[in-house]
Amino acid sequence: MESSRGWLMAEMLDAAENASPVDAVEAVTRELGAALGARSVAFLIADLSGRALVRLAHAPPGDPGAGRRDGDEVARVLPFDGGPVEQALRTQTVRVVAQPDGWTVLAPVTDRGEVIGLLEMILPAEPAERALEEIARTAHLLAFVVIANRRHTDLFEWGQRTTPFTLSGEIQRRLLPSAFTCEGSSFTLSGWLEPAASIGGDTFDYSVARDVLHFSVTDAMGHGVASALTATLGVGSLRNNRRRGAELVEQADAANADVAAHSAGSGSFITAVIGRLDLRTGVCALLNAGHVPPLLVRDGETRVLALPANFPLGMFDDEDYRSAEITLRPGDRLVVVTDGMRERNAASLDLPAMLGSITDLHPREAVRALADAVLEVSGPALADDATLFIVDWHGGHGDERRSCAGADQARASSALPG
């Protein structure tokens, strides 16, 4: 069994590498389908901002199939409806659904907790447990195929965009990390940005070092392209100095000077929370530059973290920044938001109470639940970007992560009530 599994994996990797970037995923699924005798195999890419999966297909212009088109490429949107597809992604488990003409298998395509999409197979007979294990492993492999090939093509990015981007939205998207979710042995994190109709300059960022997690949430003053360009200055400076090995206060000092110098005369500035979490000890250094204070959820209770007050980045080029430290306990949840979560109608949302009520959700679902709640009270067109960043602290940095097919299922959200 091990030798046949290795052969199949090798065949799929060769198929992916030999195909063009736009055909790599289809080449892999075709190999899998042939090996398992599937009637059909498809990869559905996730558009979590659209709360949907997107089925990509290649069809000639005269093909009557419905969906959004770009030449021969067709994207059909399948909104989340609480059914087996959404349940498979939420719980990070393979689902098997009996159909009149066969059995549908739905396997999450995930890497380190980041939902990339779903592998959908239709088999003529109910699959055995061993076949389901093979499908789950293949779905995990497919995640790496997508990650590797999306660097060379716009196809996957186009497929995910059920809502077109403005120029400022395009700039803003490039500032965000390529993965919104990451699971480590000692932490789980996820970020989310719900854009305003006129982009408001929000960003979030993170980087995992050997024993440290760096993160930031920023909000550039204003809207539109000018705001996105100011955000580019701030994020670029923070990343540049972080990669030089600068400490937290040094990063803020440098970003403050860079924004002030390169946006001279415009009056632009950036509010920010910058963090540095020691993964060995749980000690988290935090710096608040004129931003909404971060929140800590501990034992179901939410409290505001009082940090030293600092001016926003770029407001005064001679500002001396100060940070503070907190020690996280296993089970703690650290939450950073932007003021779009608190402005106007969004202020009617009892954020501390809601955070206390969703502690059982994986950060990936928690940020989406919070964004949905803001949209419900504010309406579909936000006046300002609403951004959330959640870090769950588990401890045990030296331990191996317990994962299966790209996810730690012990941390996954429970199924939606059926």
DSSP 83-116: SHHHHHHHHT--EEEEETTEEEEEEEEEETTEEE
Cite the residue boundaries of each domain of the chain with CATH code 3.60.40.10: 167-393
Backbone angles phi, psi at 219, to 5 degrees: -140, 105
Query: For domain 167-393, which architecture applies?
Result: 4-Layer Sandwich (3.60)
Amino acid at 151: R
Amino acid at 289: A
Cite the residue boundaries of each domain of the chain with CATH code 3.30.450.40: 2-160
11, 46, 137, 206, 314 from 6: Cα distances, Å:
9, 28, 11, 34, 55
Question: Which among 144, 170, 176 is positioned nearest to 158, based on CA atoms?
Answer: 170
Q: What is the pLDDT along the chain (418 residues), one digit of tens a residue?
A: 455 566 677 888 888 899 999 999 989 888 888 888 899 999 999 987 778 899 888 766 656 556 788 888 888 888 999 999 999 999 999 999 999 889 999 999 999 999 999 999 999 999 999 889 889 988 999 999 999 999 999 999 988 887 778 888 889 989 999 999 999 999 999 999 887 655 678 999 999 999 999 999 999 988 888 899 999 999 999 999 999 999 999 999 999 999 999 876 667 899 999 999 999 999 999 999 999 999 999 999 999 999 999 999 999 988 899 999 999 999 999 999 998 776 655 667 888 999 999 999 999 999 999 988 888 887 666 667 889 999 999 999 988 888 888 999 999 999 988 6
Supply 222's token pair.
């204003």
Give the list of residues 6+ apart from residue 293 with CB closer than 8 angstroms, or none: 304, 305, 306, 307
Q: Count of alpha carbons within 13 Å of 139, Cβ hemisphere only?
A: 36
Tokens 């040094």, residue located: 250
CATH of domain 2-160: 3.30.450.40
**What is the spatial distance between Cα 255 and Cα 238, in angstroms, rounded to a whole number?**
6
Question: Which among 245, 248, 360, 339 is positioned nearest to 297, based on CA atoms?
Answer: 360
- Which parts of 176-266 fold into alpha helices (H)? 224-243, 248-262
**Torsion-angle region of 203 (φ positive above 0: left; ψ -120 to 50: alpha; else: beta):** beta
CB 130 within 8 A of CB 148: no
Supply 337's token pair.
């938001």
